[in-house]
Structure 1
Amino acid sequence: MAVRKHLIDPSPTDVWAVLEGEHPYGRWVVGASDSRADEGNWPEKGSSLAHSLRLGPKEFASRTVVRRIDRPQTLELEADGGPLGTARIAFDIRPWGDKTLGAHETAR
Structure 2
Amino acid sequence: MTQNSRQIHATPEQVWTVLSDGWLYPVWVVGASRMRDVDDTWPAVGSRLHHSVGVWPLLVDDNTEVVDATPGMSITLRARAWPVGEARVHIRLEAIGAETLVTIDEKAVSGPGALAPPPLERVTLKWRNTETLQRLAFIAEGKA
TM-score, length-normalised on structure 2? 0.70
SS for the counterpart of 1:24 is: helix
SS for the counterpart of 1:76 is: strand
Q: 2:6 maps to what in 1?
A: 6
Q: 1:40·1:46 contact (CA, 8 Å) conserved in 2?
A: no
Where do 5+ consecutive residues of structure 1 fail to align? none
Q: 1:107 maps to what in 2?
A: 107
**1:18 maps onto 2:7 in alignment:** no
Which amino acid in structure 1 is aligned with residue 9 of structure 2? D
SS for the counterpart of 1:93 is: strand
Change beyond 3 A, Cα 1:56–1:107: farther
Please list, as runs of the form range in 1=range in 2, the aligned pairs for 1:1-108 lying within 5 A after superposition: 1-35=1-35, 36-37=37-38, 39=39, 41-54=41-54, 58-108=58-108
* Percent of aligned positions that are identical: 31
Q: 2:87·2:107 contact (CA, 8 Å) conserved in 1?
A: yes
Structure whose CA Rg is larger: 2
> Separation in 2 of the partners of 1:103 and 1:77?
14
Structure with bigger helix share is 2
> Separation in 1 of the partners of 2:87 and 2:15?
22
Which amino acid in structure 1 is aligned with residue 46 of structure 2? G
Q: CA deviation at 1:55?
A: 5.2
Which amino acid in structure 1 is aligned with residue 86 of structure 2? T
Which amino acid in structure 2 is aligned with residue 76 of structure 1? T
Q: 2:33·2:55 contact (CA, 8 Å) conserved in 1?
A: no
Which amino acid in structure 2 is aligned with residue 60 of structure 1? V
Cα RMSD, aligned residues only: 1.5
